[in-house]
Amino acid sequence: MTSRGQTWLDRLIAWSPVLLLGALAALTYWLNAQVQVAGPSFDGSGRHDADIFVDNFKAFNLDKDGRIRQALVAKRAQHYPDDDTTTLDAPEIGFTDPERPRLDVTADHAKITGDREHAYFEGHVKAVREATTDAGGKTEGPVTFVSEFLHVIPKEDRIVTDRPVTITDPRGTINSTGLEYDNKAKTLKLKSRVSGQLQEQADRDKPIHYQADTGDVNVQTKVGTLLGNVILTQGTLTIRADKIVFRQNADNSVSATAWGNPLTFREKRDQVDEYYEGVAQRAEYDGQKRFLELFDRALLRKGADEIRSNYISYNADTEFFKAEGRPDTRPAAAGESPLGARVRGVFQPQKDANKDDKTGKNGKAPAPPPKPNPPAPLKPEGALSPEPAK
C-alpha cells in the first residue's frame, strides 16, 4: 500500500468514532420525529386573526342583468384570511333571486364561507320566506323559522338545523328539534321531538259585525265611521269604543282606529285558550299585520300579566310588546293616579297564572262575557251593509 493510501486509512480509522456518533445522533433525531406529537407552530400560520373589518357594513350581489340577488347589512363585518370566512354582527340578509320567493334572515351573529355557498346564523335567528301565489291564485305562506342556529344554503335554497326550531305559517305552528327545509322541492323534514297545532279558522275569514248609535258606511270603499256605544267584532276580535273608524282590508281582515274613555280591545291568542286585552283612550289596529297600538293611559293584559304605560304596542303574531313612558296628555280624573312618563307592569308566577286562567281566582270557572245585541254583519265577500229589517 502506498504511503498516501495508508494515510487516508489512518485518518478514517481516527475519525470513525466521530462518524459513528453522528450517525447515531441522526438516527435518534429521526426516531424522535416519527413518534413526537406535533406541537403548536409559532410562525403565525395557525392564527385566526381578522385582516379587514368594516363597521356599518353593506353589500349587494347582482346577477348578470343587474338585479339584486343578495343584500347584506351588518353592524360589523370581519374577514379572516386563514380560512377566507367572514363573520357578521347583527346581520340582516335578504336573498332576492327573481325566480324564488324572497328570504330574509336576521340573527345576533353569522359566518359566511369564502365561496359564499354556506351561511351559519347563531343567536335569536329568524328566517322569513315571503308568501307565494301559484297560477291558480292560491297563496301559501309566509313561512317563519325561529331558532338559535340555522344553516342557510342559498344556491340550493335549503335551510338546515339540528337545534330546536319553531316553524309558523298561516295554517299553524310546528315545533321540532332539527329540520331540513327544501324550498325548491317544497319539502320539510322534521327530525325529532315534533309537535304542532293547526290554528282555528283565522279571524280574517269571518264576517265583520258592527253596531253603534249612528254610523256612516261607504259600500264601495268598505270604510265606515261609527259613533256612540260602538261594538266591532270579527271572529274572536272585539273592540268597544265611543268612536271607531274602520276599513275592510283586501285580505278581509279589519283595521280600525278607536277612541273611548276608555276603549277596550280583546282577541284570542294563537295556540292557547286565552285572550289578550287592551284598554286605552285611543287605539290603532292593523288587521293585516295583527299589530295593536294603545295610546294614553294604556293597559295591556295577557293572562294574569299586565303592563301599563301611555304607549304600548303589541304584535299578536310574535307576541312581543313594547312600552314607552310618555307624558300624560290630560290631567288624571278624580280617583285616578297619573301615569306620567313611566312604565309599570306585573308578571305573575307562571304556576299561579296558569291556575287562574283555568279556574279563576276563587277556584271557579270565570263567567262568560255578556253577549252583545244582534249586530249588523259585514260579509268578507259581499257588500258592506246592515241586515234588512225583519
Q: Count of residues for the chain?
A: 390
What's the one-letter identity of residue 81?
P
User: What are 268's strand-pairing partners?
Assistant: 275
Residue 242's CB is within 10 A of a number of other CB atoms, namely 18
In contact, 76 and 70? CB cutoff 8 Å: no
Lowest-pLDDT range, 78-92, 225-239, 313-327, 331-345?
331-345
The pLDDT of residue 378: 44
Residue for cell digits 285616578?
336
The pLDDT of residue 281: 94
DSSP 302-347: ETTEEEEEEEEEEETTTTEEEEE----SSPPPTT-----S--EEE-
Residue 356: phi and psi, rounded to 5, are -65, -35
pLDDT winner (highest mean) among 174-178, 213-217, 232-236, 363-367:
232-236
Among the CATH numbers 2.40.10.340, 2.60.40.10, 2.60.450.10, 3.40.50.300, which is that of 52-198? 2.60.450.10
In contact, 130 and 102? CB cutoff 8 Å: yes
The pLDDT of residue 147: 94
In CATH terms, the fold of domain 203-378 is lipopolysaccharide transport protein A fold (2.60.450)
pTM score above 0.85: no
Mean pLDDT of 278-303: 92
Q: Tell me the average pLDDT of the chain.
A: 78
pLDDT band at 241; cut points 50, 70, 90 = very high
Residue for cell digits 295591556?
300
> Would you say the C-alpha torsion 219, 223, 228, 231 has a positive or negative sign?
positive
What is the C-alpha to C-alpha distance for residues 158 and 100, in angstroms, rounded to an integer?
12
Q: Give the torsion through C-alpha atoms of 146, 147, 153, 154, to 10 deg.
A: 30
Q: In this model, does residue 202 exceed pLDDT 80?
A: no
Question: Which part of the chain is CATH 2.60.450.10?
Answer: 52-198, 203-378
Burial of 93 (0-12, 13-18, 19+ CB in 10 A): buried
Q: For residues 171 and 250, which has the higher predicted lDDT (pLDDT)? A: 250
The pLDDT of residue 382: 40
Contacts of 385 (CB under 8 A, 6+ apart): 217, 219, 376
What tens digit of pLDDT does each residue of 144-167 get? 889 999 998 877 888 899 999 888
What is the C-alpha to C-alpha distance for residues 192 and 175, in angstroms, rounded to an integer?
9
Q: For residues 203 and 332, which has the higher predicted lDDT (pLDDT)? A: 203
Mean pLDDT of 190-218: 72
What tens digit of pLDDT does each residue of 83-133 get? 889 999 999 988 787 777 888 899 999 999 988 889 999 999 998 888 877
pLDDT winner (highest mean) among 35-44, 129-138, 287-296:
287-296
Residue 352's CB is within 10 A of a number of other CB atoms, namely 11
What is the C-alpha to C-alpha distance for residues 294 and 311, in angstroms, rounded to an integer?
6
The pLDDT of residue 263: 96
User: What are 292's strand-pairing partners?
Assistant: 285, 314
What's the one-letter identity of residue 252?
N
